[in-house]
Amino acid sequence: MGRPGTGLNDNPHAGRFAPALPPEGAQSGLGRPGTGLKMNFLIGDVQGCCDALDRLLAEIGFSPSRDHLWLMGDLVNRGPQSLATLRRLVALGAAADCLLGNHDLHLLVVAEGAQRMKRQDTLTEILAAPDRDQLLDWLRGQRMAAFDDGWLLVHAGVAPQWDRDQTLALAAEVEAALRGPGRAGFMHVLYGDRPARWKAGLAGHDRLRFIVNALTRIRFCTAEGQLEFDTKDSAGSAPPGFMPWYEVPGRRTADTRVAFGHWSTLGALDRPNLLALDSGCVWGGALSAARIDAGRREIFQVRCAQAQAPQPWARSAERGE
């Protein structure tokens, strides 16, 4: 994805998100895919930046009648066009599948009346929209994890104790809870940092909450798999005893190619079995796509206008990080 730490503008926080790019609206110069065969793309955190999404789709030559998209979660919130983003994705029909990120779950929790909106949220337009119910139903129908073209797709990461098949099975448990008759009760207990470590015997809401936290919030954990949620800066800022989830020795997905978003301060991460795609669009970085069909690994980016000024990470804003 390019060199971490190269400047995009005068925002020092955004400088860690993506390689230097041409001015907003210009093409990245990273190459164009062919136009004859079906293409499969992963797209990083949009966070309500629909204009950037449209420019990225133009940059990659996306055709909804031919190609397919995976959105890596955090479709909405903090950007200025959350409602337009959802409507755009719904209109793509079967050409687009999406993962649920922490911001998307936050929208569902707020819509259920289980939490209030936070100061920086930009969800009011969705909640007041005439097609609100249809949009929320569509959102509940999206995935917590998926496997496609040889890649395990998650929003934030994977607990080190899980392999690919277990990750997908546990994700399906949360998907069923989000769509089932007990979803309102689940929304009221979804938030929380405990339990912080996976145990096979976890049951009920504790089990579902841990799965949600691992798939949508994880950044750092211990070698034993204990999650940590306070630190949201780069990989080098791990608290004592913790490490990035993908560095845990013996991680059971180490031999699986894993793509994720969520961690905008991580910077460029492009390894043989690991691909990070949140390049900080909402913070004035870039919106990234990766073409993954037929063994390809081509990265495309468009520069984004800064919709939010980085703030010190407040503990109370965890679900809107």
pLDDT along the chain (321 residues), means of 10: 31 36 40 67 98 98 98 98 98 98 98 95 98 98 98 98 98 97 94 96 97 98 96 94 98 98 88 96 96 94 91 43 52
Residues facing 301 on adjacent strands? 288
What is the pLDDT, as a whole number, of residue 27?
40
Residue-range domains of the chain with CATH: 40-308 (3.60.21.10)
Quote the CA–CA distance of 18 and 4 in Å, as a whole number: 6
Number of other residues whose CB lies within 10 A of the CB of residue 199 = 12
CA atoms within 13 A on the CB side of 128: 4
Query: Which parts of the chain are beta strand (E)?
Result: 40-43, 68-71, 96-98, 145-148, 151-154, 220-221, 227-228, 243-244, 257-260, 270-271, 274-276, 286-291, 298-303
Nearest in space to 207 (alpha carbons), one of 215, 140, 242: 215
Query: Which parts of 155-245 are beta strand (E)?
Result: 220-221, 227-228, 243-244
Asked whether 73 and 261 are in contact (CB, 8 A), the reply is: yes
What is the pLDDT, as a whole number, of residue 36?
64
What lies within 8 Å, CB to CB, of 139 at 6+ separation is: 75, 86, 100, 104, 107, 108
What is the pLDDT, as a whole number, of residue 37?
82
Nearest in space to 297 (alpha carbons), one of 244, 252, 257, 263: 257
What is the pLDDT, as a whole number, of residue 30?
41
Nearest in space to 287 (alpha carbons), one of 295, 279, 299: 279
